[in-house]
Every structure is written in structure tokens, then in C-alpha cells.
């Protein structure tokens, strides 16, 4: 076989830390070497032409460390050029085919400056979102318009009530798409109107964020419709429309709106525990790379199964150092109630978005009063801790 | 609370069959009722306004049946209107938030005519792809251009060799995106040229299918570039670019190319076994709804972990009745070798695409000879079974 040289390799490499199930170190090492092949050349190693392909293109095993019973942490580095500096191909290199192998989990991406530079990241981040809202310090409050089946007019009225009561971010429930009973455009117009009317009364800057859950070829059109109508941000579920859809919207200078990511259909990446993606990588690192300004995930203690530790790791990853890529807001929700606020403040600190949906309705039919109670409780709890 | 009526409900419902982990039937029933709420109204049931929302919008538990030790199969129906007749929202209703709950798996979609009609499905399907290739009966042969790191010129030469040896479908390895060492456009031009040159010699109709793995805003542009350059089809990985990207490409009348779906990053939906999506739903039902003409998945006995039974269920779902939505080709691959052909013919029948990548190179440096050997072996085995 002839020697092959690959032009344009800089020598820059990034790393991925995987956790692998293995009975002993030798077998962990073998699994790690399989990942090196699988995620790059996908080719019998003895048949690779000598030169840059085995020396640089092939993943490189950097370290193997025991991690507990029958688990090992392995660190593999990749040439930055194999990502093509595109988000879709980056995630492909990190976990494309290896996602199909059980007992193998991505724990953390260790990206380097050349890759960070390829991504804009969140347009607003924590500071930018606080500026939009005019809320410099306290935790932010968010609620969802629901239940599905209400008309656009009813949802708009609900948005008015919630904004009147002091909610900062009012989003569509993630089940609202473009159904006939509350079509996207009509819903956006009504909710924008409701929130604007309330802001006029309160003097605050509550934002309405419609859910963009439609076909890809309507995504930008719906996003721009929303912006022109006066929506203050957008909610996107990367599990439904693809992670790159978040990047596309975040990069759109004429759109210039904060993005809230929703975890619909992403659960399978994190529920198995020993395979998939870590909470840290999925809800923090990848969402920030894509450009979400806040990330919704199920809070511990609600009706989902995330542990307090997993939520802590998400919180950590929303602000861990990533070059120029801004810290974003964790937005824990999913069955949280007013009672959970004190412990959540303890865990997340005040740079958090409290997402309360059905629980707000539990307070009574007057949503504005429920929202005021929620805000007061957060304020009192914050100052007493 | 006032009675709420929801206009436009037809009464048509579709169903989803889930498998849930539960200690007894009462607890399975409770989990099922949770799914009914979670996937629709996401609201405290006692606070729902009376009328159409609890009566029609809310998911409806249709049946609970024991399925083995601590597993129950539950059937839940949903009003077709809540999908908005969009693929993104359909998958959201089927499994959006429930994907975050462990021990809960989608076994099968039981869609009805109104939903089938909302989707075009595969443009070619089994019959159409056979017509394009001029191969009426025998199994189809497919290989991947690799390893990553080779230049576009080298990949083009490899495509020539493989086509000369009688391969029907030549696709990019899924790790090829738009890297500097083999940029998308140059690669397409070289590989199209190689395949055309071989077709001129053989008189056959081998197709080249480049991998569309780029940013969403380049997807259609790259697809049309490929078509104009003479590519015979496209490969898309819905885990990387979103399932709806497949639909978008399949629906494009001016593109009019067969689509091959790749499982990169989809593994986490199926590896846990007791949660996620079934092989039947993910690789058959959803790919057909989206419009893939053939679906790549890891064959049993290779370096991945799918069982023979799981591969059988994928094979079944590529041709199960789905209204007007065409049957598609199963394309088992991933570490298969020439030795596995006989048993695979037994399992898949002759309406199958044999995908052999690295194993073809194992035959020796003359790829055309390796391809001829592969084709002969399939032909001999087919006629001897």
C-alpha cells in the first residue's frame, strides 16, 4: 500500500471523554480502540494505508482510567479537521455509530479553541437575556401556556394573566405546534398582544416565546413571522427539529431572538444511565454550542427521573468555561411545584429560570394571583437564603 | 370551570402501542394514564376544563395487557388533529416527553388513513429503486467509500472500481461530510465521474449516493448540487440532521432522488432495550413516513449488538402495510462479511440491500475483483437457497 498524506491537517486535536462498560482494563482498552476506529475511518486497521490516516485521522486513545465497578473512563482525541467545523459532523464524530453500542456513554467534550471558534454559541446567554428582561439579579420565572386544545384567544388571555402577575418568560407548551384549534400564526398574534397589554400595565418586559415545532421548511418562516409579530424569543426542541436547527436560528442576525431549548424526544440519550450522552454534554455543552440561551430539562423530584446530582451537572455545564461561548440559563421544570423553590435556589443559585406549568394553575383560577404568589415566594426565599 | 369545545375535531384517532415496566397491572395502568396526560395536555387532570379537552384531546387508554415479567403492553389513542399533520409534531405526540421516562418504550405506531395521507412517504420504494437500477429481482449490493482521509480523487477512483465490479449502490462512508481533504462538491464530481465511467463499461446503472451531513441551511443546496452533477441518490442520517430533513428531501419534486437513511446518532433510541423506540418503529415505520427508500441498520452478528430477531422486526416493518406508503429496502450492514450472506438471504429474502464496507477491502487490493466476488457469491447463494 502506498503512503497517503492528508493535506491541511493542523495537528490540533480535541478530545471526548467516554465511559465504557468493561470487565477489566484490557477489555476497556480494546473497546476504546474500537471507538477510535468506529468514529473515524471505520475500516480494518491492518488495511489502512500508512501515513496520515493512521497517524492523524484515526482517533487516538489518550488515557484509560478505572471509574468504578466494571466502568472505565477513556479519553480519545480526534483531529479537528475531521469535523469539517460543522455541528452535524462534530456530533457524528463524537458519537455517530458508537451510539449504537450499548454500555458506552459520552461523559464530556474537551473542545479546543479552533472548534469553539467555529461556533457562535448563544447570542444572548445569561447576561443578554437579563438585559432584555431588565432583571439584573433575581431568578427568572417562566410558565407554559396550556392545556393543548384551548383556542388562540384563550391562550392569549392566559398569557396576559401570567404576564400581569410578573412572569418573565411565557412559552407555548411544547405540545403546541400548528394545530387547527390554535394555529401557529393566530396563537402568536394573540399571545404577543396579551403580553404587550400586560407589560403596558406592569412596566415590565415579559417575553412571549412560541414553540417552533413545524416542518424544517417552515422553521425560518415561522421564526420571522413571530419576530415581526413581536415575539420576544423562540422555543425549539432539538429532538424534534434537529440540533442544527437551533444553530441556524441562533446564527440568524435578522432574527436576533433568544432561544429556549426543550428536551422533547431527547430523553433516550440520557435515560439508560450507562449508554448515550451525559446530562452534562447533552443539556449543557451541546446546547451551548448550538446556541440556545436557556435549556429546559426535568427537575429532580418532579414526575421525571433526573437525580439531584444530574441536575447539578447540568447546572455546572451551563456555565463551565467554553472559550467565547456564553453561559446559559438552566431552566429546570417538569412537574415542579411552588414547594420546591427553596431547595432549587440552593442548588442552582439565582442564575436560574424557574419553569412552572400546571402547578401555577393549582394555585387557583386567578392566574395573575398565582403568578404573583410564585414571584413573591421566589423573592422571599432568595432573600432568606 | 366553563365547558370548552374544540372546533375541527373529526373523531379520527390513531394509536401507539407502548411497553411499560410495572410491578402489576394497576401500576401499569397508572403509568399508561400518565402517558395519556404527558403526551397531550401535560396538565393536572382535575383542573382540565370539562368538554372536548378531557373527552378528545387527552390521550385515551384503550387496552392494557401483560407482556411478560413486569412488562405490560398498553395501547393509547390520540386525536389525529393534535399532530397538526406534521411529522415533527407526530413524533412529539408519540414520544416527546415520555422519552425522558425510563422503562417506557414505543413498540409500534398504529396510524390510520388520515395520517398516512398527510405523508408522501418514499418516492421510489422497493419497486422504484429496482427500476432505477434495472435490477428486477436479485438482492442489491451496496458499498461505502472509505477510509476518511482519502482525497476526492482517490474516492472517485474507488467508486469506479466498485462500480466496475458490479456494485449497485455506492455511498459515501457516513463519516464523510465536507472536510477539507475531500470537500463535498469535489467528491461528488469525482465519484459521479468514476461511476459513470464504469457504467459505460458495464452497461449497468450503478448509482452514487453522497452523504448530506451538513448544516441545515446547506442541505437543499448540496442535494441539488449533487443531483445536477449526476448523483443517483442521497444518503441522510436523521440522527444528525433531523428526521424531518428526510421528509423535506423526499418531498422535493425537483430533486426526485432515492434516499438512503443512516443510523448515526440514533442508537440511543434502541440500545437500552426497555426504553426508547422499538427497532420496528424507528427503522421501519418512521423512516417510511419520512420518505427514506432504504434504511441502513447494523446487521446481527457484526460488531454491533442487534439480535437476529431485532433485524427480523426491522425487515418486517420495511414492508408492513401502511396505506399508500411504499415498502422500502432493509440495508443491513456494519461489520458484515462475505460469509454472512447465506444466512442473511434466509432472513431478509431477496428484497434486501447488502451493505459491505471494510469487508470488501479484506478480499484484496483489487476492489473490482472483490466486488465481482461479492456479487457472484450473492448470486450463487440466492439460487442455491
- Residue pLDDT, tens place only, A50-83: 999 999 999 999 999 999 889 999 999 999 999 9
202-241 in chain B: CB under 8 A from chain A: 213-217, 237, 239-241
ipTM: 0.97
79-98 in chain B: CB under 8 A from chain A: 81-84, 86-89, 91-93, 95-98
Residue A340 to residues A276, A359, B343, Cα–Cα distance (Å): 29, 11, 57
Check whether A303 has a pLDDT greater than 80. no
Contact B324, B119 (CB under 8 A): no
CA atoms within 13 A on the CB side of A233: 31
Of B146, B179, B304, nearest to A81 by CB-CB distance is B179
Contact A180 B264 (CB under 8 A): no
Check whether A208 has a pLDDT greater than 80. yes
Question: Got the DSSP string for B309-375?
Answer: HHHHHHHHHTTS-BTBPPP-EEEEESS--GGGHHHHHHHH-SS-EEE-SHHHHHT-S-HHHHHHHHH
* pLDDT recorded at residue B335: 64
β-pair type (B169-172, B140-145): parallel
Contact B146 A44 (CB under 8 A): no
Q: Write out pLDDT tens, residues B77-100.
A: 999 999 999 999 999 999 999 999
For the record, the C-alpha cell of A265 comes out as 424526544
> Hey, which residues of A are catalytic here?
146, 262
Q: What is the dihedral of CA A89, A91, A97, A99, to 10 degrees?
A: -170
Instruction: Select the highest-mean-pLDDT range: A185-199, A299-313, B268-282, B343-357.
Output: A185-199
CA dist B285 and A314 (Å) reads 33
Please, which pLDDT band fits residue A385 given cuts at 50, 70 and 90?
low
7-66 in chain A: CB under 8 A from chain B: 7-9, 34, 38-44, 47-48, 52-53, 56-57
For the record, the C-alpha cell of B18 comes out as 407502548
Q: Name residue, grid cell 442576525.
A: A253
Of A89, A215, A357, nearest to B248 by CB-CB distance is A215
Check whether A335 has a pLDDT greater than 80. no
* pLDDT recorded at residue A272: 84
Contact A242 B240 (CB under 8 A): yes
Contact A214 B88 (CB under 8 A): yes
CA atoms within 13 A on the CB side of B274: 15
pTM of the model: 0.97
CA dist A232 and A179 (Å) reads 22
Q: Does B305 touch chain A if contact means CB atoms closer than 8 Å?
A: yes
Please, which pLDDT band fits residue B358 given cuts at 50, 70 and 90?
confident
Min Cα distance A182 → chain B (Å) is 10
Read off the pLDDT of each residue in B131-140 and give the average, rounded to a whole number: 97
**Is B146 known to be catalytic?**
yes
Q: Does B181 touch chain A if contact means CB atoms closer than 8 Å?
A: yes
326-385 in chain B: CB under 8 A from chain A: 334, 357-358, 361-362, 365
Mean pLDDT, chain A, whole residue set = 95
CA dist A120 and B215 (Å) reads 14
Min Cα distance A137 → chain B (Å) is 30
CA dist A306 and A299 (Å) reads 7
Could you tell me the sign of the dihedral formed by the alpha carbons of B336, B338, B343, B346, in that order? positive
Contact A375, A142 (CB under 8 A): no
Read off the pLDDT of each residue in A290-305 and give the average, rounded to a whole number: 92
* pLDDT recorded at residue B385: 60
* pLDDT recorded at residue B340: 83
Contact A170, A143 (CB under 8 A): yes
Closest Cα in chain B to A10: B180
B56, B171, B211, B262: the catalytic one is: B262
Amino acid at each position: 500500500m502506498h503512503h497517503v498524506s492528508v493535506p491541511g491537517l493542523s495537528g490540533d486535536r480535541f478530545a471526548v471523554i467516554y465511559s465504557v462498560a468493561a470487565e477489566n482494563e484490557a477489555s476497556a482498552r480494546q473497546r476504546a480502540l474500537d471507538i477510535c476506529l468506529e468514529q473515524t475511518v471505520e475500516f480494518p486497521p491492518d488495511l489502512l494505508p500508512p501515513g496520515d490516516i493512521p497517524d492523524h485521522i484515526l482517533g487516538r486513545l489518550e488515557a484509560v482510567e478505572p471509574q468504578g465497578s466494571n466502568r472505565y473512563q477513556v479519553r480519545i482525541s480526534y483531529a479537528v479537521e475531521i469535523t469539517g467545523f460543522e455541528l452535524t459532523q462534530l456530533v457524528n464524530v463524537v458519537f455517530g455509530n458508537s451510539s449504537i453500542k450499548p454500555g458506552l456513554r459520552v461523559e464530556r467534550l474537551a473542545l479546543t479553541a479552533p472548534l469553539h471558534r467555529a461556533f457562535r454559541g448563544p447570542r444572548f446567554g445569561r447576561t443578554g437575556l437579563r438585559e432584555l428582561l431588565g432583571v439584573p439579579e433575581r431568578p427568572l420565572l417562566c410558565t407554559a401556556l396550556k392545556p393543548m386544545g384551548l383556542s388562540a384567544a384563550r391562550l392569549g388571555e392566559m398569557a396576559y394573566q401570567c404576564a400581569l402577575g410578573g412572569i418573565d418568560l411565557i412559552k407555548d407548551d411544547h405540545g403546541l405546534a400548528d394545530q387547527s384549534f390554535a394555529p401557529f400564526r393566530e396563537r402568536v398574534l394573540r399571545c404577543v398582544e396579551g403580553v404587550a397589554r400586560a407589560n403596558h400595565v406592569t412596566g415590565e418586559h415579559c417575553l412571549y416565546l412560541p414553540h417552533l415545532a413545524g416542518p424544517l421548511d417552515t422553521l425560518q418562516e415561522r421564526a420571522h413571522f413571530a419576530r415581526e409579530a413581536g415575539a420576544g424569543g423562540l422555543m425549539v426542541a432539538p429532538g424534534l427539529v434537529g440540533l442544527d436547527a437551533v444553530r441556524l436560528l441562533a446564527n440568524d442576525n435578522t432574527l436576533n431572538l433568544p432561544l429556549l431549548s426543550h428536551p422533547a424526544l431527547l430523553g433516550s440519550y440520557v435515560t439508560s444511565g450507562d449508554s448515550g450522552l451525559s446530562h452534562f454534554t447533552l443539556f449543557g455543552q451541546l446546547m451551548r454550542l448550538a446556541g440556545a440561551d436557556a435549556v429546559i430539562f426535568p427537575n429532580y423530584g418532579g414526575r421525571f427521573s433526573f437525580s439531584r446530582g444530574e441536575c447539578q451537572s447540568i447546572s455546572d455545564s451551563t456555565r463551565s468555561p467554553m472559550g467565547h461561548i456564553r453561559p446559559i440559563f438552566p431552566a429546570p421544570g417538569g412537574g415542579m411545584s411552588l414547594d420546591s423553590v427553596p431547595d432549587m435556589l440552593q442548588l442552582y443559585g439565582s442564575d436560574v429560570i424557574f419553569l412552572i406549568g400546571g402547578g401555577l394553575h393549582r394555585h387557583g383560577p386567578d392566574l395573575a394571583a398565582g403568578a404573583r404568589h410564585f414571584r413573591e415566594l421566589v423573592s422571599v426565599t432568595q432573600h432568606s437564603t
